Structure 1
Amino acid sequence: MIIRRWQESDRPFLRTLYLRARKSAWRWLDSSDWRLEDFDTATLGETVWVAEEDGHRMGFASVSVNDNFLHNLFIDPDFQGKGVGSALLKHAQSTFTHTGALKCLLLNKDALTFYQHHGWKVEAQGVSPQGDYLLMHYVLK
């Protein structure tokens, strides 16, 4: 598996992956208004990394570099549980210059468990249009 910077040619696939992965992970939300173009808005101005193996794009992470903020980490449901998320997370963390941050929806129990397993700590709780979330931090070692 390689982790590489995204290219414009990745956009159609990543749009599809983003829509499919959100529908799979956030089953409690109404997805009827979600569109492929949501990927463009969600990653605007961010550095996007793609996990790929044998020509298959398996997931992506996007980071707001100036804020050390992991904004998106989505894995194709067909590749979940195979280390793709861990590899992308490790790569994203390697780009942080100080404490990293992310927000994780409270109802996304699998993601919360995943981040805590990788050393992320809950710092605060908040409310978003998608529901309650936890603000999590990762302290560089």
Structure 2
Amino acid sequence: MLYFGGKSEVPLIHIRNAREGEAELLSEIGIRAWQKAMASIGEGDAMVDAARSAFFNFVAGSWITVTVIEWNGHAAGWAARETLDEKISDFWIDPHFTGHGLGSALLQNIENDIAAQGFDTALMQTHSGNSEAIGFFQKRGYAIHWLSIAYNPKLDRDVPSVGLSKSLESVGDGTYGLV
């Protein structure tokens, strides 16, 4: 809860499409979230410049595939479906805004979009050492289906990854849940 002038106010969460020209704002959110995730893995410092460039270039070139979540009018995170299919290619919540349900709300929105386009499964992948993200997705019905090590040209190095998926099914009230 936020308090203004002694009154309790309900925080306003708004989910919208990204706008052209937001690449710098959204890439900075992405880099902050990425740095937090990489801190436990220990590889972030060596890759921060490449990551910053990759975030900016992705958002600048693919902003139409990005969904933004705002908290009281401030961009607090974003997700992308780079090829507009069932795969969530990016999912970033600014560390300053975690713990308020924003990730859950954004994920539900993305899953609804995936299901509305006729896909019955949501897919995503993350660094195999990103236990916070893996736990987040598992708590929301995702299961790990594969582990791999592949070269990432954006970061210019091999990256160990896990693939997660969740079956989506309409539950009759316009929402989607675990099958």
TM-score (structure 1 length as normaliser): 0.89
Partners of 2:24 and 2:56 within 8 A in 1: no
- CA 1:7–1:30 in structure 2 vs 1: closer, same or farther (change >3 Å)? same
1:101-112 alignment runs, 5 A limit = 101-112=123-134
1:84-123 alignment runs, 5 A limit = 84-96=102-114, 97-98=118-119, 99-123=121-145
How many residues are paired up? 141
Q: What residue number does 2:36 align with?
A: 24
Take 1:79 and 1:66, find their aligned partners in 2: how far apart are those partners? 26
TM-score (structure 2 length as normaliser): 0.71
Partners of 1:105 and 1:130 within 8 A in 2: no
Q: How far 1:10 sits from its partner (Å)? A: 2.3
The share of aligned pairs that are identical, in percent, is 25
Unaligned runs of at least 5 residues, structure 2: 1-12, 151-156, 170-179
RMSD (Å) for aligned C-alpha atoms: 1.8
Of structures 1 and 2, the larger Rg is shown by 2
Helix, strand or coil: the match of 2:56?
helix
For 1:41-82, what per-residue CA distance to the aligned partner results, in whole angstroms no more than 9, with x for missing partners? 444446101001222110000113443110111111011111
Helix, strand or coil: the match of 1:107?
coil
Give, as a single letter, the amino acid of the residue that structure 1 aligns with 2:80: S
- CA 1:114–1:33 in structure 2 vs 1: closer, same or farther (change >3 Å)? closer
Helix, strand or coil: the match of 1:119?
coil
